[in-house]
Amino acid sequence: MFGTAVGDALGLPYEGLSKRRAPRLLGPPDRYRFLPRTGMVSDDTEHTCMVAEALILAGDDSDRFGKELARRFRWWLASLPAGIGKATAISIFKLWLGFPTDKSGVFSAGNGPAMRSAILGAAVEDLSLLRSLVKVSSQMTHRDPKAEYGAWAVALAARLASTSETIDSQNYLENLQQTLSDDPAEEFLELVGRAVASVERGESTPDFGISLGLEKGVSGYTYHTVPMALHAWLSTPDDYQEAVQQIILCGGDADSTAAIVGGIVGCSVGKEGIPEAWVSGLREWPRSTSWMQTLGETLYQARSSKESRTPPRYLKIGVLPRNLFFLAVVLGHGFRRLLPPY
């Protein structure tokens, strides 16, 4: 939970900037720059929290999980979140119109499903149930199978990071190949294979991005986002700070890529493996860091007992003013980008 949130908050001010301009405009990603030394999260963390809430209530019932997640998506859209993706916005609007959860998604290969799937891999041990939940979460907003493949790769990575003392890149690749053997995922598996080979050669994540033609930054296309995120994770699976900073330095959709990498690496290192200044520097309300902590603990208890529980509450009426303040800061960053250095 904190791995995703901290990565999201660190990468947020760099979103959409090229890898060349980002350090010139903002400096290195060694502290929060959205507000002075203060971090706020975007939809990446919000989606992760909603997935956790739905999973707490649903237990092993994937149908109920879909209904609970859809209900949260509807009210999340009504709170006017900033920076929502087009595919996600259209899908949630369709949910409001009464479309079922398996028909609401649009044909898009964006990285929305991938950015919210690490929490599933961390929480669900049963592989078949995990695959079912990833499918429900993915198809609710993105019906292109590519989006589901990317989400599954992230969930599988988080599962491996949660359960293994050491991370073997070839072992991960073999597991991914086995679980996608019945799917037409050859292109995606080839890209992940290239990422694994690059890691084994000792190539840096930014250099691997160049080899994929991502000189200007990582796009929101899941076949760009996920191989890059996996490369950063496999390069330094036990070093949260290095992994997150390396993916942010690649430019582009930096909040989502850093949230994904942070979520996976966080499964290995835990809260204590994240720099304390980054954790304490998060300033969120009404979904505060203490609320996130309780949410994670409740999810752990629910999964351990195999029983549904009640997620912790927060002041839902506070989400709208929070989002309006967040939007004002985002607009401020947008105007700042019109000025030098270019």
Percentage of residues in the chain with pLDDT exceeding 90?
97
pLDDT in tens, 134-146: 999 999 999 999 9
* Structural contact between residues 170 and 153, judged by C-beta atoms closer than 8 angstroms: no
Predicted local distance difference test score (pLDDT) of residue 13: 97
Predicted local distance difference test score (pLDDT) of residue 45: 98
* 46 pLDDT tier (thresholds 50, 70, 90): very high
| Sign of the four-CA dihedral 82, 295, 313, 117 | positive
* 2 pLDDT tier (thresholds 50, 70, 90): very high
Those residues whose C-beta lies under 8 Å from the C-beta of residue 329, and which sit 6 or more positions away, are 34, 35, 40
* Structural contact between residues 253 and 219, judged by C-beta atoms closer than 8 angstroms: yes
* 203 pLDDT tier (thresholds 50, 70, 90): very high
Identify residue 145 by its one-letter amino acid code.
P
**Angle at the Cα of 79 (from 77 to 80), degrees rounded to 5?**
75
pLDDT in tens, 216-248: 999 999 999 999 999 999 999 999 999 999 999
Predicted local distance difference test score (pLDDT) of residue 306: 86
Residue 34, φ and ψ in degrees, nearest 5: -70, -50
Mean pLDDT for the stretch of residues 204-221:
97
Q: Would you call 179 exposed, middle or buried from its count of C-beta atoms within 10 A (0-12, 13-18, 19+)?
A: middle
Predicted local distance difference test score (pLDDT) of residue 309: 94
pLDDT in tens, 260-309: 999 999 999 999 999 999 999 999 999 999 999 999 999 999 999 988 99
In CATH, what number does 2-336 get?
1.10.4080.10
Question: Cα–chain-centroid distance for residue 103?
Answer: 23
Percentage of residues in the chain with pLDDT exceeding 70?
100
User: What is the DSSP code (8-state) at residue 13?
Assistant: G
Those residues whose C-beta lies under 8 Å from the C-beta of residue 269, and which sit 6 or more positions away, are 3, 238, 239, 240
pLDDT in tens, 161-181: 999 989 999 999 999 999 999
> How far apart are the C-alpha atoms of 42 and 9, rounded to whole Å?
7
Predicted local distance difference test score (pLDDT) of residue 266: 98
* 83 pLDDT tier (thresholds 50, 70, 90): confident
| Annotated domain spans of the chain | 2-336
pTM, entire model:
0.98
Closest Cα partner for 17 from 1, 28, 3, 5? 28
Residue 224 half-sphere exposure toward CB, CA atoms < 13 A:
24
Within the chain, residue ranges assigned H as helices are 2-11, 21-26, 43-58, 62-78, 86-96, 112-115, 118-123, 127-139, 145-163, 169-179, 186-201, 205-211, 222-235, 240-248, 254-269, 276-280, 289-305, 319-336
